[in-house]
Amino acid sequence: MYLMGEEGKPPLQMSLPQAGMHAGAEAAVSSLIAHYPREIEGLGQKVVVNMQACIVWILMNEQAMPILHGDILRRIVFGEMRIGVNEGVMLEGIAEAADLPAENVRTAHMFLGDLGRVAEIALSEGLPGLRSAGLRLLSPVKPMLAEMAEDPDDVLTEHGGETAIEFKLDGARIQIHRDGDAVRIFSRRLTDVTDSLPELVAFAKSLPASRFLLEGEVVAVDHGGRPLPFQDLMRRFRRVHGIEEASREIPLKLFLFDLLTVDGRDLVDAPYRERWSRLEALVPRDVLTPRTIARTKGEIEAFLQRSLEEGHEGLMAKALDAPYSVGKRGKKWFKIKPADRLDLDGTLHDMNDPDALEHVGMGVVALFSDDAHYFMPIRRTPTPVSYSPLTLPTRGLF
């Protein structure tokens, strides 16, 4: 099999032994690493896992074999695909190859966070194996996500008249896993960042429980304790060398807001009020995210103002009876942030097919400047849209 590389680089021949699918995948990964040492260097174990998962999926699906003759696989394994097929197509392929419902495959992946492991369980253990997949300490899980809310009254209505509100932070979301003496810290994207955060490892080992999964955010702060911009946090968060010096230059503050398991008790299905209560009992008060219970719009707005004055982004609103929905976005959690509204115009559209005015391709949204008397580009629109709803603003431009 051949994998086309970058322009100017010869195609890579992958030798896939017949000893089995996983042996073949491992051999192909080794070939990829040998062929792209510069590109892979420093990307870490997650890239290697992704490579193996990609190749396992291809080997399971004969119809996918032709992509080994292009650069699509190379783009997937190096995280360069920009059209959203990376994980989704892999999971659909695993489900089809194992003849299992795609929903069960996706749910297992939310807990396991490892495409290769999901494929292995699906093929070897089937539906019972997938259904048994749950939280595993020292392995990252997909975080629960929130919807945006504009009106606090809508939040209160959705949450049954009362909601827990807490500061929304301009930081990096993390999970802290401890299993005895072993501690691992993962980012929102499930990357292992343990080595960059030694002070958090020490913190985890200082707690009275020996097995837990905490969730929170770290924020870069100045020496007065006020939040620094997110860019300063990234300078520290991604550091792999000179960490001790960086920790003095850019101290971090930990804000915890959830507890998913503790000493053998799985809390994913427990209501949020119980998870918070157990979190309060486990960690010092000074690392808890500022939080209160609100029952009126005025209470929410007052707490929002306090958050903004202290340098944070806004608020999170959480339903007190909500379980932790791993990897899912819904109305049990809301983000509340002040927003400036802009009137933008679509400009500079490129047509996908100049012979058929059916779709508008990539364009630019722009803001008109009264002072300069011209449109200032704000951002591109990456997804082609139907021409029909743009008849008025675009007619006569082509």
- Could you tell me the two tokens for 35? 């062929």
Burial class (CB in 10 A: 0-12, 13-18, 19+), 384: middle
Alpha helices in the chain (DSSP H): 21-35, 37-40, 45-60, 72-77, 86-98, 102-112, 115-124, 126-131, 152-158, 198-206, 230-237, 243-249, 272-282, 297-309, 391-394
Determine phi and psi for 253, rounding to 5 degrees.
-115, 135
Distance separating alpha carbons of residues 317 and 168, to the nearest angstrom: 9
Determine phi and psi for 205, rounding to 5 degrees.
-75, -15
Name, in order, each residue with C-beta under 8 angstroms of 196's C-beta and a sequence gap of 6 or more: 236, 237, 238, 239, 240, 243
Which are the catalytic amino acids? 168
Distance separating alpha carbons of residues 251 and 222, to the nearest angstrom: 7
Amino acid (1-letter code) at residue 39? E
Name, in order, each residue with C-beta under 8 angstroms of 166's C-beta and a sequence gap of 6 or more: 257, 289, 290, 291, 292, 315, 316, 318
Name, in order, each residue with C-beta under 8 angstroms of 269's C-beta and a sequence gap of 6 or more: 323, 324
